[in-house]
Amino acid sequence: MKGIILAGGLGTRLYPLTFATNKHLLPIYDKPMVYYPIETLVKAGIDEVLVVTGGPYAGHFIRVLKNGKELGLKRLAYAYQEGEGGIAEALSLAENFAEGDSVCVILGDNTTDADISKEVKNFKEGAMIFLKEVPDPKRFGVPVFDENKKIVKIEEKPEKPQNNYAVTGLYMYDASVFSKIKNIKPSGRGELEITDVNNLFINEGSLNWSVLEGYWRDAGTFNTLLEAGKFWYEKKNK
């Protein structure tokens, strides 16, 4: 399994901080934000990683991450996303890197201390998504369950969420994900949505889910950036 970190976008919600550099290079306590998803992958036994980035500061990643050796990676590659085409479009740029292998995808602003090595080891085919209860599910994709706790669909940023579970920015897919991306259409905001991809896996009955144990937060707002920094400070200074 190969790792894909999606770290593009302009980070407009974090202006003026992101006038200076890419959002995913901002500090969370004592490390650049992107270190945390890399550490999640390495801890799970994944040492070949592609970073998909974009925007005016894409070159900053090379200076920060170099060749990835110091972070425990055997292979580190980069891909450039032109424009703002969405998460699924960014993932499509990883098709050649994946070389027919399954992939573990994590958004570059996700910070977690969860250990997903068991799920990575046991993954065979289809898709696996990780859920987490959050206080603000309106910001995320939210699963809709049937009476057997099977996900029947995912609603993207629903005005009235049916529960408090968020689909975290951590996914595992087999190689069919790339053909599925080619079969979805842009959403109303002109982006290829990862929720639409996940719903295709649901429709064919091949999507599984697990609750992410431990701490998880996306650090894409001022409040969550501060909250994540506070968590890692306290964790490392107990």
Contacts of 127 (CB under 8 A, 6+ apart): 171, 172, 173, 174, 177, 198, 201, 206, 207, 208
Structure confidence by residue, pLDDT tens digits, 86-104? 899 999 999 999 999 999 9
Is 90 exceeded by the pLDDT of residue 20? Answer: yes
Distance (Å, whole) CA 95 – CA 88: 12
Q: How far is residue 205's CA from residue 12's CA, in Å, rounded to a whole number? A: 36
21/5 Cα distance (integer angstroms): 17
Please give the model's pTM, rounded to 2 decimal places.
0.94
| Residue 9 banded pLDDT, cuts 50, 70, 90 | confident
Mean pLDDT, the chain, rounded, equals: 95
Class of domain 2-125+167-236: alpha beta
Which pLDDT band holds residue 163 (cuts at 50, 70, 90)? Answer: very high
Q: Are 141 and 167 in contact (CB under 8 A)?
A: yes
Instruction: Tell me how crowded residue 213 is: count the other CB atoms within 10 A of its CB.
Output: 13
pLDDT in tens, 131-158: 999 988 998 999 999 988 999 999 989 9
Nearest to 54 by CA among 185, 191, 157: 191
Q: Determine contact, residues 33/51, Cβ cutoff 8 Å.
A: no
Q: Is 75 exposed, middle or buried (0-12, 13-18, 19+ CB in 10 A)?
A: middle
pLDDT for the residue 47: 97
Distance CA 129, CA 211 (A): 9
Domain boundaries, the chain: 2-125+167-236
Torsion of CA 128, 132, 136, 137, to 10 degrees: 30
d(CA 236, CA 93): 35
The C-alpha atoms of residue 60 and residue 66 are separated, in whole angstroms, by: 10
Q: Is the pLDDT of residue 84 over 90?
A: no
Q: How confident is the model at residue 188, as a pLDDT?
A: 84
